[in-house]
A and B are shown apart, each in its own frame.
Chain A
């Protein structure tokens, strides 16, 4: 049972345009959401996050939107640059009693930004 889903395995956009990556989740206990970026032969690196008490968080060219009623979040990159080409993972976190949080990852979306 996939609790975090990224239904688009790949996305191609032109340099300078907007990239929109989508993610859906099913577990209502998730209250913190993150996006990680992964280049080949490297580990995932943290990009941006959002708490469930917010509906938008912005950091430079990256904005994450959260729609709790739809259990949907999206990552907007504008303008897109060739260096943004990577696999993007959506992750969700729930607080577990007596322990640190754990992340549940989606399957990733390969973004290709064409020059």
Chain B
């Protein structure tokens, strides 16, 4: 079974630029999560999808961050415009059912200069 795929793996941009990350969850996994992990901290949930609907986006900075999962499979996370403090690893995770383990992708390391 293929794992959670993410791209790109690394991205360097200047502040005020835009960036987008892509995630392909494990086949059949209805729930998808995006996390932000700042250096030295644990992953922090940004948004949770159930199929193509948003379950929780209370911690997503909606003035600059947006995410979608239009067909209930792949998802994209966008930052526009980026700030220096957005430098972090962005992790995507998925799981099949509400009590199953979350499986994480390798993450995208974003550096904002």
Contact = CB atoms under 8 A, between A and B. Distances in A.
Given A100-B31, A102-B56, A46 B102 contact: yes
Given A42-B106, A44-B104, A101 B4 contact: no
A41 interface: yes
A4 B98 CA distance: 21
A107 B89 CA distance: 14
Nearest to B89: A43
Interface residues of A, number: 25
B48 A100 contact: yes
Interface in B18-52: 31, 33, 40-45, 48, 50
B42 A105 contact: yes
B103 A99 contact: no
Interface in A54-85: none
Most chain B CB inside 10 Å of its own CB: which residue of A36, A44, A107, A108: A44
B101 A44 contact: no
A59 B4 CA distance: 24
A113 interface: no
Place the interface of chain B in its size category. 20 to 34
Nearest to B103: A46
Given A99-B55, A107-B42, A46 B95 contact: no
A99 B56 contact: yes
Contact of A49 (B31, B33, B101): B101
A89 B4 contact: no
B49 to A, nearest CB: 10
**What 4 A-B pairs are tightest by C-beta distance, nearest first?**
A105-B42, A43-B104, A100-B98, A99-B55
Given A43-B106, A44-B43, 9 more contacts: A6-B42, A34-B101, A41-B9, A43-B105, A99-B98, A100-B48, A105-B43, A107-B40, A107-B42
10 contacts: A9-B40, A36-B104, A41-B9, A43-B104, A45-B104, A49-B101, A96-B56, A100-B31, A100-B95, A107-B40
Interface of A: 4, 6, 9, 34, 36, 41-46, 49, 89, 91, 96, 99-108
